[in-house]
Amino acid sequence: MVKRVNIGIIGVQGAVLEHVNTMKKLFSETNTTGEIFIIRDKNQLEKVDGLIIPGGETTTISRILVKTGLYDKILYRIKKKNIAIMGTCAGCVLLSEKISNNDKEIKCLNAMNIYVKRNAFGRQKESFEQEIKIKGFSKTYNAVFIRAPIIEKIYNNCEILAKIKDKIIMVRQDKFLAISFHPELTDDLRIHKYFLDII
């Protein structure tokens, strides 16, 4: 049976088109039918089964989500437990319960039992790539880190999927996936496939 699923990518700022292109490739390779929406209006959220919050500037994304009503609509879907969400880099921060170095302008979605620290690996010039092991993946994954956060604490039913040394960089909780790095900036579709499979 062909799976049908609609994916939304928050399109207010950040690495939006990279996620769109990755999902299009994945749909084609996995014979998945459905639509991919760039979400800029809260009413569009009613159409999607899964949502991606991309990397970008966390404060800017947060402000726009609140201003447009997207924040409240996402929160409503989270509470209803009828949406899957993947947050990458800035999206990882926004899915958290607490930001240890918050500038107080970022409004978290409290979707996951995690505390995060922004820009934990340094600024733009400290960007890097590294092969990492991800739980359930048979081969290593080349992860791209750009002003990346780390997940400082998890609790309850949140599961660690990847670390760099003692630093947590990828976790899952139910249908929510928080990732410190940028899977949309590689040709490796496995993380987006993992997300598609949990929707």
Catalytic member of 18, 92, 182, 192: 182
Question: In 80-109, which positions are buried (b, 16+ CB within 10 angstroms) versus exposed (e)?
Answer: eeebbbbbbbbbbbbbbeebeebeeebebb
Catalytic member of 18, 89, 92, 158: 89
Instruction: Answer yes or no: 19 catalytic.
Output: no
Counting Cα atoms < 13 Å in the Cβ hemisphere of 87 gives 32
Calculate helix-pair angle for 70-80, 58-68, nearest 10 degrees. 90
Counting Cα atoms < 13 Å in the Cβ hemisphere of 8 gives 23
- Tokens matching residue 64: 């726009």
Instruction: Answer yes or no: 184 catalytic.
Output: yes
Instruction: Answer yes or no: 105 catalytic.
Output: no
Q: H or E stretch including 96? A: none
- Tokens matching residue 58: 């966390």
One-letter amino acid for residue 64 of the chain: I
- Whose CA is closest to 118, among 128, 130, 106? 106
Catalytic member of 19, 92, 158, 184: 184
| Other Cβ atoms within 10 Å of 129 Cβ, number | 14
Catalytic residues: 89, 182, 184
